[in-house]
Structure 1
Amino acid sequence: MRTIFRDPNGQLRNGWWILIFLLFVLATRVVHAPLVAALKALDVPEAWRDPLPVLFVLLATWACTRLRREPLSSIGLELDRRWWRQLGAGFGLGMAALALAALLMMAVGGVQFELQPDRSASLLAWGLYGFVFAAALEELLFRGFLFQRLLDGIGVWGAQLLLAGLFALAHWGNPGMEGATRIWATVDIGLASMMLGLAYLRTRSLALPLGLHLGWNWMQGSVLGFGVSGHAAAGWWQPVFADAPAWMTGGDFGPEAGAFGLLVDLVMLVLLWRWKGRAPAPAPAMVPVPAS
């Protein structure tokens, strides 16, 4: 029985930690539904309910790290100056990557942009607010505790490929996920997952993948007005599609279902692969003190 539950070092195996984490997440879902219903009854606006899923996943993660006698920061949430710099750099790079995909679409005549008459700074700010929690939820779930236990258990390639499949599968119920769009979007979302996973591996922090995810989504939805994984977004600009096929631009689903979005993700993946990264220096090994 020891080999089933514990590794040769006597530690609980990663598979059991993954099961414990998933059970904690399921337990928070039981609390989440009645809490949301109660807040709705109190007429609490939906925007103020957005942080709840993130807080519950953080709670499940905290419970697992406490059981492992590790700090919550061990999953990549150090929140020091280096962390915030990486978050900002990722945010800018994510915006630039999406802008590049849009420029490529414009270059082939697939899309044009019109300024929205009701654009405002508050629209951009509220869009950023919503996308912060959406990106944080997905990064905590797919690049947090679960990813790190998979890395330790089955290695980099196994963890990356498995979570790429799960990340794509998690988006299958999104609006517009049908026909050729399903194929293009599934491939691109899987590649995006591997790119974000590589961003974590190069830094051992959630800051860079979170920034990339947030910058891409905010530029895509709140600034340029594209759909975000099939969900309509009110943007500062409004895309007007020409006669280019949907497989090229992604159509209403967004650039994730288009050739140029896929191309940019591939470029980002290669750049991160070639980058050596800036992972924090490992902590010095503890030297046992001889008994006196």
Structure 2
Amino acid sequence: MRRLFWNATERRPRTFWRLTGQLLILVATLMLLDELTAPLATAFPGHGAALAETIVGVLAFVLSVGLAGRWLDQRPLADFGLHVLARPWWRQLVTGLCVGPLLMSGIFLFEYLLGYVEIVEVGYVIEPGVPLAASILIPIGLYLSIAVSEEVLFRGYYLRNLAEGMAGKLSLPARAVVAALISSALFGLTHAGNPAATWISTVYLCLFGLMFALGYLLTGQLALPIGLHWSWNLFQGNVFGFPVSGKAVDGGGILRITQTGPDWLTGGSFGPEAGAAGLGALAAGCLMIVLYCRQTQGRLQLQGISYGCARPEPLSGQAPERGPADS
């Protein structure tokens, strides 16, 4: 009976119980932090509520992964792709921050040249009297919270644990593919309840999850996917005025637009992530990630999915070790 719950070789719970345990810790952490930040949302409605949501989100997700890592995975938080003290980590973050705006600029230019985008206003705020710079600060923090939270959970924790759970059953590339598919499917499904969401938008977001997974698997770190995820959302909404996964722009932005054109191409009211233009940007993003990793590492290799307690993941030029089977 003990074998159903415990991996004697790795001296930790099996994959299913690690994932279940992390989910329970996440729910408990969200409830606790929500209670602690409730006075902030009450005292400062509007921006205060948004700030409270941002704080609760990023702290709960990161803290739950950190606690699950310590209690269940037997590894530190840094081993989930967060070796932030290493200089290459920050170079990868900057790379992601550059790729996102490039991709979104391509989408905007493409639709603008086709006549599907009309610029209505340059520099606007939702709440009158609030400076433009100040109105963008909340969305910047919100999108950073979303990027960190989702990447730490889906790529850092889920993808890695799923891949480790198949060690000894599948080859390293097969484990990477299957784990990326499952974690990306979960990523897409969590957005299925967003405004204007359809089955098409959900499938497309699963594909975007694969792009973020590619950035993690080829670097072993979350810096590149966090930077790409963060800048993609920020430029999509508060710079170019598109809906962000079905949600309207919050705070203020650079361009206010009206959008026409077929939904299959533009994504309609859900945003570019649900359209063919977004898929084109997705393909370009994957190519950029591959070229960047090839240029900086010399060769492409899978990283960040092998088991090793408290050992730093290689940032470049070092092949990862394969761990024992989770069986």
Provide TM-score, normalisation by structure 2: 0.78
Q: Does the 8 A contact of 1:89 with 1:211 survive in 2?
A: yes
C-alpha displacement at 1:265, in angstroms?
0.7
Task: Give the structure 2 partner of residue 165 of structure 1.
Answer: 185
Q: Does the 8 A contact of 1:255 with 1:261 survive in 2?
A: yes
**Are 1:152 and 2:164 an aligned pair?**
yes
Q: Secondary structure at the match of 2:253?
A: coil
Stretch moving more, 157-166 or 219-228: 157-166
Check 1:76–1:10 CA distance in 2 against 1; reply closer, same or farther (3 A cut): closer
Task: Give the structure 2 partner of residue 280 of structure 1.
Answer: 315
In 1, the alpha carbon distance for the partners of 2:319 and 2:103 equals 34
Letter in 2 for 1:158: V
**Are 1:108 and 2:114 an aligned pair?**
yes
Task: Give the structure 2 partner of residue 11 of structure 1.
Answer: 11
Letter in 2 for 1:280: L
Letter in 2 for 1:34: E
In 2, the alpha carbon distance for the partners of 1:238 and 1:42 equals 30
Consecutive unaligned residues of structure 2, counting only runs of 5 or more, are: 126-131, 167-174, 298-313, 322-327
**Are 1:203 and 2:219 an aligned pair?**
yes
C-alpha displacement at 1:203, in angstroms?
0.7
In 1, the alpha carbon distance for the partners of 2:144 and 2:268 equals 24
Q: Secondary structure at the match of 2:256?
A: strand
Task: Give the structure 1 partner of residue 104 of structure 2.
Answer: 98
Deviation string, structure 1 residues 46-71 (Cα, Å, up to 9, x no partner): 24311222111222112122224422
In 2, the alpha carbon distance for the partners of 1:117 and 1:100 equals 20
Check 1:113–1:58 CA distance in 2 against 1; reply closer, same or farther (3 A cut): same
Q: How many equivalent pairs are there?
A: 280
Runs (4+) of structure 1 exceeding 4 A deviation are 281-285
Check 1:254–1:2 CA distance in 2 against 1; reply closer, same or farther (3 A cut): same
Check 1:236–1:284 CA distance in 2 against 1; reply closer, same or farther (3 A cut): closer
Q: Does the 8 A contact of 1:188 with 1:265 survive in 2?
A: no
Deviation string, structure 1 residues 99-152 (Cα, Å, up to 9, x no partner): 111111123222132333536333343332221112112112211222211121
Task: Give the structure 1 partner of residue 137 of structure 2.
Answer: 125
**Are 1:215 and 2:231 an aligned pair?**
yes
Stretch moving more, 214-223 or 99-108: 99-108
How large is the Cα RMSD of the aligned pairs? Answer: 2.4
C-alpha displacement at 1:40, in angstroms?
3.0
Check 1:63–1:194 CA distance in 2 against 1; reply closer, same or farther (3 A cut): same
In 2, the alpha carbon distance for the partners of 1:222 and 1:117 equals 10
Q: Secondary structure at the match of 1:77?
A: coil
**Are 1:226 and 2:261 an aligned pair?**
no
In 2, the alpha carbon distance for the partners of 1:59 and 1:166 equals 20
In 2, the alpha carbon distance for the partners of 1:3 and 1:9 equals 11
Q: Secondary structure at the match of 2:96?
A: helix
Letter in 2 for 1:65: G
Consecutive unaligned residues of structure 1, counting only runs of 5 or more, are: 286-292
Q: What is the aligned-residue identity percentage?
A: 34
Q: Secondary structure at the match of 1:22?
A: helix
Provide TM-score, normalisation by structure 1: 0.87
